[in-house]
Structure 1
Amino acid sequence: MQRILLFAAAIAAVFASPAAATEDDFNVWGGQFIFVDLDKDGDWFVRAEAQERFTQDADRLGQLLLRSFVGYRLNETATVGGGYAYILTDPVGPAQINEHRIYQEVTLTLINTEDGVKLTSRNRFEQRFFEEDGETGLRYRNQVQLTAPISEKTNLVLYTEPFIGVNETRFNRGGVALWRNFAGVSFPVAKGVSFTPGYLNQYVVRSGEDRMDHVANFGVTARF
C-alpha cells in the first residue's frame, strides 16, 4: 500500500509542477476500445481502438488514430502481443502527416490486491514509419497505471507515461519527447461496457518553446 500511495503522490506532484516557458492548449480527446477473446480460455484476444483528438482549443480534429492489437495472456500477471496503428496528424500550418506504426507490447501486473487495487506496467516499443519521410523512428513507452475502487461500481484511475525516442529522425525526437499524466474515474454503463472520463496532462518537448496540453479525455471500453 505504501508503494501505491507513493505512486499517487508522484503523479500529483507532476500535475502540480508548473512548467517554465510553455505554450498551453486545451484539447478534447475521445477514445473507443474493444476487447474480444478469441478462444474459450481467454488466452488469445484482439484489441481495436479509435481515438479522435480535437486540438487548438478543441476547435478542430488535429489527430485521428486507428490501432489494432493481438495479444496472448501468458498467465494472470503477464500479457504479450503486437499490432499496427495508423495515425493522421493535421497540425495548423504544416501539411498533414501520415504515420504507420508497428509495435510490440508487454504488460505486467505489479500489484493486485483482494480489495481491488491494481498496479500495472505497460511497456510498448514502436517502429514509426512516415509517408513524408524515409526514415524509421524508434520509441519506447512505459505506462504505469493504478486503479482502485472508490465506491461499489466506480474506480479511480491514475497513470503516468513517458515517451522516449530511441533514435532521432525528422518526426521522432530522441530522448523524452512527450509525458502524459491522467487522473479520472471508471464506471460501468452497460454489461461489459465502461466509461472513463478524466483530465489528461500532456507535456510536449519541442525545439523552441515546449507545449502543455490540458485535455478533457473520455474513453469507452467494451469487452466481449
Structure 2
Amino acid sequence: MLRTTAFSVLTLTAAGIIPSDEVHAADEDAQLWLSQSFSVPLAEDDVTGTLDLSQRVRENGNQLLSRGMAEFRLSKEAVVGGGAAYVETFDSTDEFRPHQQLTLTFGMWSFRTRVEERFFEGADRMELRLRQKVTATWPLAKELKGSLAGELLYTARSQTAGDDAHIDQWRATGALTYKLSPQIEGTAGYLIILSPRDGEEDKLSHVAQISLTYRG
C-alpha cells in the first residue's frame, strides 16, 4: 500500500495536479463507487436531461447519491447546465446540493466549471463550493478510449459560521471507457482524492470506479 501510494502521489505531483506542498503523510482509506447514468434529449438536439445514481462504499459511512440535471448546448464547444443532487450518508448527515455548470470542449480537452450550493442537516448555513475540472480524452482502439482528469474543489463559504475559505479536495482520475453498444458505455477507473486538513494529517482516498452510461 505504501509503495502504491508513494507512486500515485509522486505521479500526480509531477503532473502538477497535486501541488508538492500538499504532499504530506496522510490518513488513507479505500472506497468503491458504482454509478449509473441515463441521458435523453428533452428538446430536439439542444437540451439533454441526465439522471445519475451513485452507490459509494466507504469506510466512514456509505453514501447514495441521486442527481438530476438539464444541459443546453450553446455552441459546438460550449454547454451550460444545472441541476440538483441528494446525498444520503448512512449513519450521518444528509445533503441537498443544487449546482450550475459550464463545460467547454476543444478537441481532446474538456474544461468544466461547476458551482455547488450545499445544504446539510443541522448546519449553520448553506455552504458554497467551486469546482474546476480538466479532462483529456483520446481513442485507444475502435470502441475503447482513455481519459485523465484533474479537479480542484474549493470551499468559498463554509457550512460553519466563522470558518475560512479553503481547498476542500484535489482529485485525479484515470479511466478506460468501452462502447458496449450504440447507446451504452462501460467505464472502469481509479480516482485518488487528497483532502487537506488543518492541524492533522491530510486524508488520501483511493477510489475504484465502475460505471454504466446510457445515452438515448
Is TM-score (shorter-chain normalized) higher than 0.5? yes
1:69 aligns with 2:69: yes
TM-score, with structure 2 as normaliser: 0.85
Over the aligned positions, Cα root-mean-square deviation in angstroms equals 2.4
Please give the alpha-carbon distance, in whole angstroms, between the structure 2 residues aligned to 1:46 and 1:10.
Answer: 36
The percentage of aligned residue pairs carrying the same residue is 29
Question: Hey, what's the Cα distance between the residues in 2 that align with 1:14 and 1:104?
Answer: 24
Q: Could you tell me which of 30, 34, 39 is aligned with 1:26?
A: 30
State the Cα distance separating 1:184 from its structure 2 match. Answer: 1.2
Q: Which runs of 5+ in 2 are unaligned?
A: 1-10
Please name the residue that 2:109 is paired with. 119
- Report how far residue 52 of structure 1 moved: 1.1
The C-alpha deviation readout for 1:64-118, integer Å capped at 9, x for no partner, is 111110110011110111101101224xxxx511111111011011x21xxxxx1
**Paired residue type of 1:139:** R
Task: Give distance in 1, aligned partners of 2:33 and 2:211.
Answer: 8
The question of whether the paired residues in 1 share the 8 Å contact of 2:194 and 2:202 is answered with: yes
1:50-89 aligned at under 5 Å gives the runs: 50-56=53-59, 62-89=62-89
Aligned 8 A contact 1:98 1:132 in 2: no
Alignment partners' CA distance in 2, 1:160 and 1:196: 17
Q: In 1, are the aligned partners of 2:39 and 2:215 still within 8 Å (CA)?
A: yes
> Which whole-Å CA distance do the structure 2 matches of 1:222 and 1:206 have between them?
37
Q: CA deviation at 1:61?
A: 5.7
Contact kept in structure 2, 1:127 and 1:138, CA below 8 Å: yes
Find the partner of 1:103 among 99, 111, 120: 99
Question: CA contact under 8 A between 2:124 and 2:160: conserved in structure 1?
Answer: no
Structure 2 counterparts to residues 49-198 of structure 1, below 5 A? 49-56=52-59, 62-90=62-90, 95-109=91-105, 111-112=106-107, 118-170=108-160, 174-198=165-189
Return closer, same or farther for 1:29/1:9 CA change in 2, 3 Å cut-off: closer
Alpha-carbon separation, structure 2, partners of 1:149 and 1:215: 24
- Give CA-to-partner distance per residue, 1:140-166, whole Å, 9 cap, x none: 001111110111111011111110011
Could you tell me which amino acid in structure 2 is paired with residue 212 of structure 1? L
- Which runs of 5 or more residues in structure 1 are unaligned? 1-7, 113-117
Q: Distance in 2 between matches of 1:153 and 1:162?
A: 30
The one-letter code of the counterpart of 1:47 is T
Match of residue 210 from structure 1 = 202
